[in-house]
């Protein structure tokens, strides 16, 4: 008569192999998910930084009454921006450093000027007002493009009747 208590060596080895395969698959799933999460978080943070910079430039432009673009710098109202080695300085303070390309310009046909643009500036909706075109690309490949128009155009006067 045979004693049927316990497991044979073959059964134990089969269970160990199955547990190893399941554990490896689960570990790969967790590590891939973690890498994807980190990559997406880094991408989102980078895009948020670009959006913040574009919003700040938009705010500066909307508050100002003038836009001057010359060479590697531009002035929005009283605030001076300068592009040096794909970095932006705002009033001589380093503003952002993680750029692959920065294109900023005034596409108004009357005063068309740009800074660091390899691309053709888009046509503005109106030729009467100054506009500010911003195209930022960071080192991760994220990009933000925006066109900001001067409110009311130049020499906006209201007449009372």
Q: Count structural domains, the chain.
A: 1
pLDDT digits over 38-68, tens only? 999 988 888 888 888 888 888 888 777 777 7
**Is 161 domain-assigned?**
no
**Is 156 domain-assigned?**
no
**Is 157 domain-assigned?**
no
**Is 138 domain-assigned?**
yes
**Is 35 domain-assigned?**
yes
Question: Exposure string (b/e) for 109-144, b if CB count within 10 Å is 16 or more?
Answer: eeeebbbbbeeebeebeeeeebbbbbbbbbeeebeb
The mean of the pLDDT values for the chain is 79
pLDDT digits over 131-148, tens only? 778 888 888 888 888 888
Could you list the residue range(s) of the whole structural domain that residue 22 is in? Answer: 9-149
**Is 2 domain-assigned?**
no
**Is 145 domain-assigned?**
yes
């Amino acid at each position: 008569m045979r004693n049927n208590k316990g497991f044979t060596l073959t059964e134990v080895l089969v269970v160990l192999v199955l547990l190893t395969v399941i554990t490896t698959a689960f570990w790969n799933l967790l590590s891939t998910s973690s890498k994807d999460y980190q990559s997406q978080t880094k991408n989102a943070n980078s895009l948020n930084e670009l959006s913040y910079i574009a919003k700040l430039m938009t705010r500066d432009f909307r508050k100002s009454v003038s836009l001057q673009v010359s060479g590697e710098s531009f002035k929005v109202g009283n605030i001076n921006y300068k592009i040096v080695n794909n970095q932006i300085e705002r009033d001589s303070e380093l503003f952002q450093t993680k750029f692959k390309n920065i294109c900023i310009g005034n596409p108004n046909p009357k005063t068309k000027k740009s800074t660091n643009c390899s691309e053709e500036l888009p046509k503005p909706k109106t030729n009467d007002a100054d506009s500010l075109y911003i195209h930022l690309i960071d080192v991760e490949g994220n990009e933000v493009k925006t066109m900001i128009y001067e409110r009311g155009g130049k020499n906006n006067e209201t007449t009372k009747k």
